[in-house]
Chain A
Amino acid sequence: MAAVAEAGPQSRRFRDLLEDRRFLAPALISPAALFIVLLVGAPLVLAVYLSMTDATAGQLTGKFVWFHNFTDAWHNDNFRRALRNTIVFTLASQAIVLVGAGILAHALVRPFRGRWFLRLLILLPWAAPVAVSTIGFLWIFDSQFSVVNWTLVHDLLPGGGHFYLYKPVNWVLGVIDHLPWVHVGKIDRLNPPQWLGQPTLAMLAIIFVQAWRILPFATVIFIAGLSSIPTEVHDAAKVDGATGLRKFWHVTLPLQLPIATVALLFGIVFTATDMTVVYILTSGGPFNSTHMLTTWAYQTGIVSSNLGEGAAISLYLLPVLLVVTVLMLRFARKVEVS
């Protein structure tokens, strides 16, 4: 107290202020909040403004054209396809992720010998920088030296036996080829599938790679949800005679649903707004068939220097974000009430 008395009334008032929650709490938050407002909020507003101007590269302003860019983008066939692709890409990859992560998390939550190492293998796709790990897939799906194709078209039985993996794959392809929007065609030993050179297969490859990279993250969130279920719940379920599938359906699933929703919402946002996987695997090709909203916005805004329309295209993602935001907010409140 002696030190405070010596320091004089001015700094004493300041110190008292620092002890006051009503001052200290906002004072500690404001630098971070300010930074976010400047670097997320302002650019977002700027994006909305730009989307209504005819700005090109090298400008920050342009003639105000209202919603011209949005309607212009909408009437472009490539945009329509990009929108459809984004929806398919997001839903399909997240469906794979949900099922995979659900199964994997249940198996990983209990400790067993070798779990540390297996978990390391499973975390690899999440830890590796996505831009470079996708290059790995560029090589795996190579048009000539694809390891997948090598396995498909080579005789897997040694010494004269015959087993070719492409035959069952061909059967599957034959089945899905009857779907109206699928054009795959037959494959044989001399014509292995061109994973990145054929529109339908390229979409499948992109969906697979995205699911591959989101799966570890979703699994981790699922594990978090599972391990937060108190052991008493399991004991109570045991006493009540609930086992196996019934226990899963009536006990584990309802308790895990909230955190699974969080993982799903994250996955949706990170997938719908991602452009790395598509940009590196196909850059939107072949023939602009695999563009997503993000890559189409990049193509229009940066490559073709049409800043205003590019901004408009990426803003078509905003509804997705708004829906997810509302769900998350609703969800956070629900958790707090309980």
Chain B
Amino acid sequence: MWATLRERGVSYLIVGPFAIVLAFPFYWMLVTAFKTNGDLYNLNHVPFTYHASPPALGEKLTFQHDHWLPFGFDHATTSHINFIFSDTNYLRWVENTAVVGGLVVLITLLLAVPAGYSLARLSGRWGQSVGVGIFLTYLVPPTLLFLPLSRVISKLGLQDRLWSLVLVYPSFTIPFATWLLMGFFRTIPAELEDAALVDGCSRLKALARVIFPISIPGILTVVIFSFSLCVNEFVYAITFISGTKQHTISAGVPNDLIRGDVYFWQSLMAATLIPSIPLALLYNSFLNRFIAGFTGGAFR
């Protein structure tokens, strides 16, 4: 029993400091988002908690009667968080990100599921090379392609339109998704579809009726990670689109929420935190499947 306790203690001792360093910026964003200007810009206040200070114009002390709150949270305000919803295009950016991400994921699945299946099951030796080839294109970075693509996009008349992103984003989600799906399909026993084939199913029917349903968890993993690649993308998003209404979160927050040298730190931190938390929860829940798919490909 002491041995397990000690082992656990060692785990905490190693993981704990890493967790603190890696998560600190997010704790800091959370604390900042609720601060009043008077509290935030006072170097005599301990910055990690909240302190009484006269509210600035337009700031409402949301929790001022809730004295039971810890860390002086009764001196906190939600005014700066409300600001991004009422006075900026933030919700529009969230919507744009969801639309682009959704459409890209759809295109990705339509193209990558057949490709991944084919690479895992149907093709032999040359399929391995094609698979590695497709995967390697994932390594070709946007920073190499954005200059020519920006010209192509404007020639196509897609400048400043979300369609430009819908068109270009699959170029990095497809290689990634094909690779993961290939890994997932390989883990499904071939006997399952052989049985379906013997029963008179066609190959495509076996794919749709037998393989697809079992692969739902794997496909969901691909959906989540492809979607987050789209949310993360920055280079194309700032090069192709300059109108503030058409931005995604990644481009809109740094470009339009920062005006010149004026930083609305509380609002910025809230805008940062809002997309991060749900994504992290999804990542954590699907992590084991991601690992299974990633290593099932070839790097076993």
**Which residues of A are in contact with B by a Cβ distance under 8 Å?**
15, 18-19, 21, 24-29, 31-33, 35-36, 39-41, 43-44, 46-47, 50, 58-60, 100, 103-104, 106-108, 110, 112-116, 118-140, 142, 144-145, 147, 150, 212, 215-216, 220-221, 223-225, 227-228, 258-259, 262, 269-270, 273-276, 279-280, 294, 297-298, 301-302, 307, 310-311, 314-315, 317-318, 321, 324-325, 328-329, 331-332, 335-336
Chain B residue with Cβ nearest A113: B8
Q: In the complex, A36→B235 CA distance in Å?
A: 18
Segment at the A interface, from B39-47, B52-60, B73-81, B213-221? B39-47
The residue that B254 contacts in the complex, of A104, A131, A269, A275, with Cβ under 8 A, is: A131
Most B Cβ at <10 Å: residue of A43, A275, A317: A43
Q: Could you list some 28 contacts between A and B, CB below 8 A? A: A19-B202, A28-B115, A35-B174, A36-B134, A43-B149, A47-B145, A100-B18, A103-B14, A112-B12, A118-B19, A120-B280, A123-B283, A128-B272, A128-B275, A129-B228, A129-B275, A129-B279, A132-B249, A132-B254, A136-B26, A139-B29, A139-B265, A145-B43, A215-B18, A274-B143, A314-B144, A321-B144, A328-B139
Contact A24 B118 (CB under 8 A): yes
Checking B43, B272, B283 against A132 with a beta-carbon cut-off of 8 angstroms, the contacting residue is B272
Binary CB contact string for chain B from 104 to 139 against chain A (1 if under 8 A, 0 otherwise): 000000111011011100110001101010101101
A273 pairs with B144, CB closer than 8 A: yes
A112–B8 touching, CB < 8 Å: yes
Known contacts A46-B148, A137-B25, A220-B287; is-contact A36 B11 (Cβ 8 Å): no
Q: Which of B111, B150, B175 contacts A31 (CB 8 A)?
A: B111
Asked if B115 contacts A33 (CB within 8 A), the reply is yes
| Contact (Cβ within 8 A) A47 B204 | no
The residues of B that contact A317 with a CB separation of less than 8 Å are 141, 143-144
Complex contacts, B117 vs chain A, CB 8 Å: 28
Residues from chain A with a CB closer than 8 A to the CB of B234 are 129-131, 275-276, 279
CB distance from A24 to the nearest CB of B (A): 6
Q: Does B188 reach chain A (CB closer than 8 Å)?
A: no
Residue in A closest to B170 when the chains form the complex, CB atoms? A35
Are B134 and A314 touching (Cβ within 8 A)?
Answer: no
A125 and B22 contact, CB distance less than 8 A? yes
User: Is B98 an interface position by the 8 A CB rule?
Assistant: no
**Nearest Cβ in chain A — how far from B219, in angstroms?**
15
B residues within 8 A CB of A46? 148, 151-152
Q: Is the CB of A44 within 8 A of B111?
A: no
B299 with A259: CB separation less than 8 A: yes
Residues 261-296 (chain B) with a chain A CB within 8 angstroms: 263, 265, 268-269, 271-272, 275-276, 279-284, 287, 290-291, 294-295
Identify B291's interface contact among A44, A100, A224, CB under 8 A.
A224
Chain B residue at minimum C-beta to C-beta distance from A46: B148
List the interface of chain B (C-beta within 8 A of A): 7-8, 10-12, 14-16, 18-19, 21-23, 25-26, 28-29, 32, 40-41, 43, 47-48, 110-112, 114-115, 117-119, 122-123, 127-128, 130, 132, 134, 136-137, 139-152, 154-155, 167-168, 170-171, 174-175, 178, 202-204, 228, 231-232, 234-235, 239, 249-251, 253-254, 258, 263, 265, 268-269, 271-272, 275-276, 279-284, 287, 290-291, 294-295, 298-300
A258 pairs with B150, CB closer than 8 A: no
CB distance from A2 to the nearest CB of B (A): 11
State whether A124 touches B294 (Cβ < 8 A).
no
Residues of the A chain whose Cβ atoms lie less than 8 Å from the Cβ of B295: 224-225, 228, 259
CA of A294 to CA of B119, assembled, Å: 34
Closest 10 CB pairs of A and B: A273-B141, A128-B276, A25-B122, A28-B118, A46-B148, A28-B114, A39-B171, A32-B115, A107-B14, A127-B280
| Closest Cβ–Cβ distance, residue B224 to chain A (whole Å) | 10
Asked whether A39 and B7 contact (CB < 8 A) given A47-B147, A273-B144, A311-B148, the answer is no
Q: Which residues of A contact B128 (CB under 8 A)?
A: 336
A130 contact set on B, CB distance < 8 A: 232, 234, 250
Contact B23 A122 (CB under 8 A): yes
Bound CA span A285–B40, Å: 26
Q: Which residues of B contact A144 (CB under 8 A)?
A: 43
Given A104-B18, A127-B283, CB of A275 within 8 Å of CB of B140? no
A107 neighbours in B (Cβ, 8 Å): 10-11, 14-15
Asked whether A120 and B145 contact (CB < 8 A) given A28-B118, A133-B276, A324-B139, the answer is no
User: Closest CB-CB distance, A247 to chain B, in whole Å?
Assistant: 15
- B177's closest neighbor in chain A, by CB? A32
How long is the Cα–Cα vector from A49 to B282 in the complex, in angstroms? 42
Cβ–Cβ < 8 Å partners of B269 in chain A: 135-136, 139
**Could you tell me if A275 and B143 are in contact, using CB atoms closer than 8 angstroms?**
yes
